[in-house]
């Protein structure tokens, strides 16, 4: 038996083609966590393509979600919280919430993660003990998610439980450090809800900083976050998470995040931001020029020991 090096099919595609996988009204799981590892370039492309009526989900949302809500691309959120860490709150989301422009299914973050987990495991629901006795539960049951959240009893112990229905995203997007063209993606650092969100999804899009050969993946298959055959598109894009951080590759861009938070404070300011950094740039590389180009981006490069 000699080595079988099958010529396997590449899933490498452009950012625009990958974004076109997401349709209006789709349920999209985003993979960022506050200021870390957001697929912000992907959100910008969805906005450029005019995507509408999305349902967005995540345990802790960040800039990729805030931008999509600010641009009016979202009709429903499934989330536990969100922030831009110390730079400020997710202002577009909070404003849309306050104005009733989105339906917000607001859970404990673990409950969102449990919905993904059920989806990933191929079971219709999960029992959970979070949210008992809270207004989170009351609102979900009575208002935003009556067909998704119920109270029940354990059939063995009779203890009181919350039951949450499986969430199967139409698409999950993951920003990663390293992937091959078959879709084998590796994440360094903590992975928050990425594992279950990706394993639950119908389709998975991977945005990767480094494109590597499958032989590099095979050196440490323990780091592969889901098997390549579950991935539908791989986009090779430098600084795709900017201005959020990509552990071991680059730090978050404090200046740009401050700029964003300043602009996003008002709807008018956000429109200016969207024009300058999302709608006007022809593509991701023109965006990178506008935020300071290589000279500025080089200052964000991670120290190899610290990882940031």
By CB under 8 A, name the binding residues for a copy of itself.
122-129, 147-148, 150, 152, 154-157, 159, 161, 163, 165, 187-189, 222-223
CA distances from 22 to 27, 56, 58, 173, 234 (A): 9, 12, 16, 10, 14
Query: Which of a copy of itself, other proteins, none lies near 252, with the C-beta cut-off 5 to 8 A by kind?
Result: other proteins
Residues 6+ apart with CB under 8 A from 136: 106, 107, 108, 111
**Would you state the torsion angle of the CA atoms of residues 207, 210, 211, 215, taken in this order, to the nearest 10 degrees?**
-120
Size of the site for other proteins (CB under 8 A): 90
Phi, psi of 151 (to 5 degrees): -95, 150
We find the least distance from the C-beta atom of residue 223 to a copy of itself, in angstroms, to be 6
Which C-beta is closer to a copy of itself: that of 63 or that of 111? 111
The site map against other proteins for 221-260 (x = CB under 8 A) is: xx-x-xxxxx--------------x-x---xx-x------
The site map against other proteins for 33-72 (x = CB under 8 A) is: xxxx----------------------xx-x----------
The reply to whether 109 sits near other proteins by the rule CB under 8 A is: yes
Residues 158-197 close enough to bind other proteins by CB under 8 A? 159-161, 180, 182, 184, 188-196
Query: Which of other proteins, a copy of itself, none lies near 296, with the C-beta cut-off 5 to 8 A by kind?
Result: none
**Residues 80 and 60: beta-carbon distance below 8 Å:** yes
The reply to whether 86 sits near other proteins by the rule CB under 8 A is: yes
Which C-beta is closer to a copy of itself: that of 159 or that of 267? 159
Nearest to 238 by CA among 282, 184, 297: 297
């Amino acid at each position: 038996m000699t080595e079988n090096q099958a010529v396997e099919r590449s899933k490498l595609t452009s950012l625009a083609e990958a974004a076109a996988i997401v349709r209006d009204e789709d349920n999209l799981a985003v993979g960022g966590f506050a200021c870390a590892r957001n697929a912000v370039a992907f959100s910008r492309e969805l906005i450029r393509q005019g995507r509408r009526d999305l349902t967005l989900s995540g345990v802790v949302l960040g800039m990729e979600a805030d931008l999509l809500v600010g641009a009016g691309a979202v009709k429903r959120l499934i989330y536990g919280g969100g922030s831009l860490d110390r730079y400020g709150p997710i202002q577009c989301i909070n404003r849309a919430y306050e104005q009733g422009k989105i339906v917000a299914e607001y859970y404990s973050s673990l409950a969102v993660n449990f919905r993904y987990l059920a989806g990933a495991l191929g079971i219709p629901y999960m029992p959970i003990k979070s949210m008992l006795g809270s207004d989170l539960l009351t609102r979900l049951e009575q208002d935003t998610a009556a067909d998704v959240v119920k109270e029940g009893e354990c059939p063995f112990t009779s203890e009181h439980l919350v039951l949450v229905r499986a969430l199967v995203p139409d698409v999950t997007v993951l920003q990663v450090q390293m992937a091959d063209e078959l879709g084998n993606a590796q994440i360094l650092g903590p992975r928050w809800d990425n594992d279950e969100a990706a394993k639950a999804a119908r389709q998975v899009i991977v945005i990767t900083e480094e494109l590597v050969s499958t032989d590099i993946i095979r050196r440490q298959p323990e780091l592969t976050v889901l098997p390549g055959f579950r991935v539908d598109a791989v986009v090779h894009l430098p600084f795709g998470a900017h201005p959020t951080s990509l552990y071991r590759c680059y730090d978050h861009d404090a200046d740009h995040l401050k700029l964003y938070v300043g602009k996003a404070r008002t709807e008018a300011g956000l429109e200016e931001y969207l024009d300058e950094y999302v709608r006007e740039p022809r593509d991701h590389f023109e965006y990178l020029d506008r935020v300071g180009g290589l000279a500025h981006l080089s200052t964000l490069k991670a120290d190899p020991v610290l990882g940031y």
